Amino acid sequence: MTTKKIEVVIPPREPHFVGDGFRVHNFIPSAYRLDMQRMSPFIMLDYNSKFYFPPTDTPRGVGVHPHRGFETVTIAYKGKVAHHDSSGGGGIIGEGDVQWMTAASGVLHKEYHEENFSKQGGDFQMVQLWVNLPAKDKMSKPKYQAIENKNINRFILENKGGEIEVIAGEHKGINGAASTFTPVNMLNAKLNKGAKTDFSFPENHNSALLVIEGSIRVNEVEQVPTDHFVLFENDGESFTIEALENTVFLVLSGEPIQEPIAAQGPFVMNTKAEIIQAINDFNMGKFGFLED
């Protein structure tokens, strides 16, 4: 099995706020050459690195807004988020939990810091991804997968080396908790200092990882610190990771969707005409209703 080499290690960009509750570093689609095609089917990645929010009686977050044509995935590392959408999905995303919302034909949704977390304040750390849908599924019915941490299958490393949570896809015979429309691997790895492990994905899959905590060494050569993003070349299948300290990192790999992308704001379709249709449908109230 040949080695999947690193194309580039990307440091975090200057953070910006999404609403008033998410202080994020954007890696996809704007860092390096990471346009929406380069990491397809992952077309957006915002990372809220660990950030302290002081107590407040008014929960911070993002108000009602639409989506069409893709899925949003929120992974909670620190803090809690409350979510509601116009298709009836919703709930609390606690630490370690994952929210997988399929917007597809269109939903309105809002995300806020959970009420008790807001009142107490504390460290907040999240990843939000947009996962594209193929043309045949873009107008399918919206759905919502609330994935609690206790329901995520794990691969346990030998000698108390840590564990790898399989959110989606498959890893060493362990199947992911989420259902996906195209081949997607999403793994949350928690390694103890000194532990070593390997990952393997098809050569043509777009693959990357984000270091959430600690630092790692990739392929016995490249040291990668906290909050950095590793993009792999599409030239091999496997890569190795060594934890230089207790570490957490998110591994992403997926089969690219070889279709045109037309994107405008919260809509990701295949043609400009479909974007115009999405805007018209939203303005006509076809995405349902959700109180702000």
Please determine, for residue 31, whether its predicted confidence score (pLDDT) is greater than 80: no
Rounded CA separation 35/230 (Å): 15
The rounded distance, in Å, linking the Cα atoms of 167 and 164 is: 9
* Edge-to-edge strand ranges of the sheet holding 247-254: 6-10, 229-232, 206-213, 247-254, 184-191, 162-168, 154-156
- For residue range 177-195, list pLDDT tens digits in order: 999 999 999 999 999 999 9
Say what the pLDDT of residue 89 is. 81
* Per-residue pLDDT tens digits for 144-171: 999 999 999 999 999 999 999 999 999 9
Cβ neighbours for 139, distance < 8 A, ≥ 6 positions apart: 104, 105
| pLDDT tens digits for range 78-129 | 999 998 888 888 889 999 999 999 999 999 999 999 999 999 999 999 999 9
d(CA 30, CA 43): 10
Write down all domains in the chain, each with its CATH number in brackets. 6-254 (2.60.120.10)
Phi, psi of 2, deg, nearest 5: -85, 155
pLDDT tens digits, one per residue of 200-255: 999 999 999 999 999 999 999 999 999 999 999 999 999 999 999 999 999 999 99
110 phi, psi to nearest 5 deg:
-140, 150
Structure token digits, residue 271 = 């043609």
Burial readout 251-260 (b: 16 or more C-beta within 10 A, e: otherwise) = bbbbbbbeee
